[in-house]
Every structure is written in C-alpha cells, then in structure tokens.
Amino acid sequence: MSQQLTAIDPDLAWDTGPGRTSRNLLAVSSEGDAALRRIAEQWLRSAPAADESWEYAAARQPAEGVLGNVIEIDGHRLRLGDVRFGLKLDSESECLDIDVHHPLFVEMPEDGPLRLSFLLLDWILGEDGVERWVRAIEITDNGETATATASDLTAAIDAMAAQSQADKWVLMEGMTHGGERVIVSARRPLRWIDYPLFDLHTEIRIPYDDKRDDGLPTVDSLDSLRGIEDDISAALGARGILVAHETAAGARLLHYYSDSEDQNGRDAIETAARVAGGATRHDPDPGWKHVRRFA
C-alpha cells in the first residue's frame, strides 16, 4: 500500500480501521496539506463503491474508543484518557483555540506533546474536524485551566455546528495606506476545507468612477457593482464560489475560488469579468491564504 501511494505522492499517508457502514475503512490522508488534499479527493472519487468489507475516505476519521488506549511515545507511556483541554470559543469565526494538557507532558521532549496533541485531536475529531473547527493548538502545563474532557470538546463543536449558518456574511471596515476607508464583506465561515477542490484564487478588479469623498461608491455605483457581482457569480455557477469583496478608492476587488483543473470555470469567470470591464488575476491557493486576513 505504501509503495502504491508513494507512486501518487510520497507525502500522502494512509490508515485503516473499523468502518462506519463497512467492516473496514481505508483512509488516504494529506496530513493537513491543502495542496495534497485535492489529490486525496481525486483518489476517493476514483474509488469503488463501498461494500460490506471496505469503505473509503480522503481524510482520517474519528476513532471510537481511542481514549481507552495507552500510547508509548519517546519512552513514555501515556494514558490518553488523562488528556484535558482548555477551550476558547470564537463564535464569530466559528472556531476553537485549544490548550492541551497531560500530566506527563513535562517529562517529554520539547516537540513530543504537540505531536501527540495533533494526533489525538485527529483521533477525536477526525482530520477534517480539526481543520474545520480548530484554529490554534497550544500545550499547557496548567491542569487547573485545562479541565475539559474529550466529551466536552466534541459537545462544544457539536453546538457550534448546530448554530452554524450557511451563506452568512460579515461587514468589516478599515483604512487604506492612503487614508481612505475600505469596506470588506466576507463569507462566514471562511474555510477551504468545505471546498477542498476549489484551489484557484481569482481576484477581479472592478473600477468605479462615481465615488464619494471618502473613496467609497455612491448609491448608483453601488447598485452597478452589485449587478456586476451577480452576473459574474451567475456565469460561474456551481463551478466556484465568491468568498469576499473589498471596496475602496474607486475599485471593488472580488475574491473567487474555483477548481484549478476546470478550464471551463476559469473561462466563464474571465469572460464575465471582461464584459463588465474588470481585470482578472489567477493564483494557485489551495489553503485560501489570500483571504485568511478576512477570516
């Protein structure tokens, strides 16, 4: 199996375990690498249909009962059930910052606790669950502040998932380097893992001449910009997604993501932007780093 996977990409990993509907699960993992995730997704889409024996996944899945295990790492035997967490919820961004504590972390080499924490969270939440809901992971020696159990952790994430709203947008404001106002509207939640094949960032610049003293568009210009945005999004359709736009100093920048291997999608967005008088720029961006500042 390792030889077969190395022939695809040597940085891919694999795991087997009990399946949810089949007896066994085979998971190919990108190890959190957004660029490799599309390869894992393509592998999954080429897999045979699940049967009684095997099912397949493009990421590590939660492992039931793992907290009852004892793991040996760097010469230390750790009861996984003794791990506790400090949970800091950011409801606006729909994510958690997590502090991880185990009584034996202080005896381990410097990088050991963090490596184990990432592995443990993969086992509890699944690889996609960590990417989707966890923003930062830190190690703490303070067992008085990290008191949440794994059940508390999954309950907090279940509560976030239940309250999550699709297609929610937030409005932000700032200043340009030239001292003019800039208005940003961004999708919430803003997560690449929800669209793992949309790895191409397209920025479209739409100029407007009719503007106010602060550089923002007048009411008529704003209506025109909204119409242009709707036309471009309609032309792209389900081939891509608009995740943010920023407006300042006589121009609106639209930020789209689509599949880099979908030439038809790229052509559609370029044609629609050109008709509207906009200029496009494409950049590979599997992890949506170009818009991370809006998240």
What pLDDT digit, counting tens, does each position of 6-36 carry?
A: 999 999 999 999 999 999 999 999 988 999 9
- 191 vs 186: CA distance, rounded Å: 11
- 116 vs 76: CA distance, rounded Å: 12
What pLDDT digit, counting tens, does each position of 182-216 carry?
A: 999 999 989 999 999 999 999 999 999 999 988 89
- 169 vs 160: CA distance, rounded Å: 17
What pLDDT digit, counting tens, does each position of 101-116 carry?
A: 999 998 888 888 998 9
Global pTM reads: 0.89
- 251 vs 89: CA distance, rounded Å: 35
Long-range contacts of 237-240 (CB under 8 A, 24+ apart): 237/268, 239/264, 239/265, 239/268, 240/198, 240/202, 240/265, 240/269
What pLDDT digit, counting tens, does each position of 268-289 carry?
A: 999 999 999 999 999 999 999 9
- 201 vs 282: CA distance, rounded Å: 6
Cβ-contact 157, 125 below 8 angstroms:
yes
| 61-78: average pLDDT | 86
